[in-house]
Amino acid sequence: MRRRQFIKKLSLAAVPITLGGIPIRLMAENSLTRMAEQSTNDRVLIILQMHGGNDGLNSIIPVEAYDLYYQWRANIAIPAKNSLRKMIPLDSTLPSQAQVGLHPDMIAMKDLYDRGRMTVVQGVSYKNNNGSHFRGRDISFMGGGFDDYFSSGWVGRYLQQEFEPKVYPDDFPNSEMKDPLAIEMGSDVSLIFHQQGNIPTSISLNNPESFARLVGELEGFVDQGIDPRGKPPTALDNSSYGRELNWILGLEDKSQDYAERLYDVYKAASPTSVTYPERYPFNAPKGSMRNGLTPQLQLIARLLDGGGPGLGVKTKVFLVKMGGFDTHAEQVESYDPTMGQHAALMYHISSAMKAFQDDLKARGLEDRVLTVTTSEFGRRVRANGSYGTDHGTGAPVMIFGKGVQPGVVGVVPDLNKQNVEMQFDYRQVYANLLRDWMLVDEAKINTDIFFKDFINGPKEDGTGNYEPLPLATQVISGVQENFINARFALEDCFPNPATEFTTIKFRTNTTNLVNLTLISNQGSTIKTLLNEERPEGEHLVRAYVGDLPTGVYFYQLKTSFFTQTKKLVVTR
Which of the two residues, 121 and 168, has the higher pLDDT score?
121
pLDDT at position 259 is 77
pLDDT band per the 50, 70, 90 thresholds, residue 382: very high
pLDDT at position 162 is 77
Give the pLDDT mean for 473-477. 85
430-466 burial, b for 16+ CB within 10 Å, e for fewer? Answer: bbbbbbbbbebebebbbeebbbbbbbeeeeeeeeeeb
pLDDT at position 175 is 63
Q: Which amino acid, one-letter code, is at 5?
A: Q
Q: Is the pLDDT of residue 187 over 90?
A: no
Q: How many residues does the chain have?
A: 572
pLDDT at position 519 is 97
Beta strand 424-425 with 317-322 is: unpaired
Rounded to the nearest 10 degrees, what angle do helices 240-268 and 3-12 cross at? 90
At residue 434, what are phi and psi to the nearest 5 degrees? -60, -40
Domains within the chain, CATH numbers bracketed: 3-481 (no CATH), 488-570 (2.60.40.3080)
Q: Are 182 and 319 in contact (CB under 8 A)?
A: yes
Give the pLDDT mean for 197-215. 40
Q: How far apart are the first and last CA of the chain?
A: 92
Lowest mean pLDDT among 224-233, 274-283, 301-310, 321-330: 224-233
Which of the two residues, 157 and 214, has the higher pLDDT score?
157
pLDDT at position 49 is 96
Instruction: Tell me the torsion sign for CA atoms 50, 54, 58, 64.
Output: positive
H or E element at residue 317: strand 317-322
pLDDT band per the 50, 70, 90 thresholds, residue 208: very low
Give the pLDDT mean for 341-361. 98
Q: Is the pLDDT of residue 23 over 80?
A: no
Q: Give the closest residue to 314 by CA, choosing from 432, 152, 163.
A: 163
Q: Give the closest residue to 304 by CA, choosing from 269, 264, 352, 263.
A: 269
Burial of 227 (0-12, 13-18, 19+ CB in 10 A): middle
User: In 3-state terms, what secondary structure has residue 83?
Assistant: coil
Q: How far is CA 149 from CA 143, 152, 153, 195, in A?
A: 10, 9, 10, 13
Identify any residues that bridge with 541 across adjacent strands, giving them in sequence order. 504
Q: Are 392 and 379 in contact (CB under 8 A)?
A: yes
pLDDT digits (tens, 9 = 90+) for 114-127: 999 999 999 999 99
How many whole angstroms from its chain centre is CA 131? Answer: 23
pLDDT digits (tens, 9 = 90+) for 83-95: 999 999 999 999 9
User: In 3-state terms, what secondary structure has residue 314?
Assistant: coil
The CA distance from 216 to 218, in Å, is 6
| 3-state DSSP of 433-470 | HHHHCCCCCHHHHHHHHCCCCCCCCECCCCCCECCCCC
Give the pLDDT mean for 461-475. 92
Q: Is the pLDDT of residue 171 over 50?
A: yes
What is the pTM assigned to this prediction? 0.87
Give the pLDDT mean for 300-317. 92
Q: Give the closest residue to 400 by CA, choosing from 435, 358, 428, 442.
A: 358
Instruction: Tell me the torsion sign for CA atoms 438, 442, 446, 452.
Output: positive
DSSP state of 502: E
